[in-house]
Amino acid sequence: MTYAIIAYVLSGLLWVAYIATVLARLKRARKDAR
Amino acid sequence: MNRNVPDWWRKGATWLWRAALVLVGISLAMIAFRAPIEAVMGPVQKIVYIHVPSAIVTLLAFGIAFAAAIAYLATKQWIWDAISAASCEVGLVFATVVMISGPLWARSAWNTWWTWEPRLTTFFILWILYAAYQVIRASIRSSSKRTISAVMAIVFFVNLPIVWKSVEWWRGSLHPRSVTMTGEMRQVLLFSMMAWIVFFAAVLERRLQLEWAREAAAREAAARDAAPGGFQPGAPEARRA
């Protein structure tokens, strides 16, 4: 059970971190395009 | 070129994100409360509901990158390169989820974190190749960046059928050739696959917006440099930069 929870939590954290980087890069690119 | 995507795109993206988050939420609830506990492995078997859909979406993402790369080489339109690059990046995140969940499954099922059996080895090579794609693409500053990226997306795709067929082509595979699931397990797995495919589409859309904004920024910069009194090599501004 512990391994299953670790798998889901780590996957969730990875997605949150990745989407945060995409949004941050998007914000900077839009600023550059002004 | 507008730095933001068109209105119809933005409205569609909002609905896509809502659908993706609701579907992933429902799939997680189904995994927790609806999927039965497997008799031999116990609750740890529920890793399969994120491992298998992520693996399928990885193949889908790299397949899209491959097709878009061919379209770019045929047409030389930037949007195909954008789709290919975005799909490679999002696919790599799904592949990383597979690489995280796999060893956690293996520890319970095979009593080892890692073993060099055919499916694991070929998938690991796949992960390395597409990670290398990101590094190489980011390091190219010349005008041939898009062409080189497209060639990589096409060449690296050759490994996908090898990953898929590895359990049949080599002996000693711990992965089963096929899995037969019935009843609620099958329902939950299929629903999870559908949810993660929609989630992939939503993340890909946002990543494409990034490529759109970068293209707009590049065109703005080119237009400024081309304008009278614009960027001049050797001018004080250029030296400061």
pLDDT tens for each residue of B219-241: 888 888 887 765 555 555 444 43
pLDDT tens for each residue of B84-117: 999 999 999 999 999 999 999 888 888 889 888 8
Count CB pairs under 8 A between chains A and B: 73
Task: Looking at chain B, list the stretches that DSSP marks H as alpha helix, in order from N- to C-terminal side.
Answer: 7-33, 48-75, 78-109, 118-139, 145-156, 159-169, 183-226, 236-240
User: What is the average pLDDT value for chain B, to the nearest integer?
Assistant: 88
> Distance from A13 to chain B by nearest Cα, in Å?
10
pTM to 2 decimals?
A: 0.89
CB atoms B4 and A4 under 8 Å: no
With left for phi above 0 and alpha for psi between -120 and 50, is residue B4 left, alpha or beta? beta
Neighbouring C-beta atoms of residue B76, cutoff 10 Å: 12
Q: CA-CA distances (angstroms) from residue B199 to B4, B40, B95, B207?
A: 22, 31, 14, 12
First to last CA, chain A: 50
Whether residue B209 contacts residue B5, with contact meaning beta carbons closer than 8 Å, is answered with yes
Whether residue A18 contacts residue B115, with contact meaning beta carbons closer than 8 Å, is answered with no
| Portion 1-34 of A in contact with B at CB < 8 A | 1, 3-4, 6-8, 10-11, 14-15, 18-19, 22-23, 25-26, 29-30, 32-34
Q: Which residues of A touch B209 (CB under 8 A)?
A: 26
So where are chain B's domains?
7-210
**What's residue B15's pLDDT?**
93
Of A6, A7, A34, the CB nearest to B3: A34
pLDDT tens for each residue of B35-52: 888 888 888 889 999 999
Whether residue B68 contacts residue B153, with contact meaning beta carbons closer than 8 Å, is answered with yes
Q: How far apart are CA B53 and CA B194, in angstroms?
A: 8
| Portion 30-89 of B in contact with A at CB < 8 A | 42-47, 50-51, 54
Whether residue B160 contacts residue B126, with contact meaning beta carbons closer than 8 Å, is answered with yes
CB atoms A3 and B104 under 8 Å: yes
DSSP B6: P
ipTM of the complex: 0.94
Whether residue B69 contacts residue B80, with contact meaning beta carbons closer than 8 Å, is answered with yes
Q: How far apart are CA B36 and CA B49, in angstroms?
A: 12
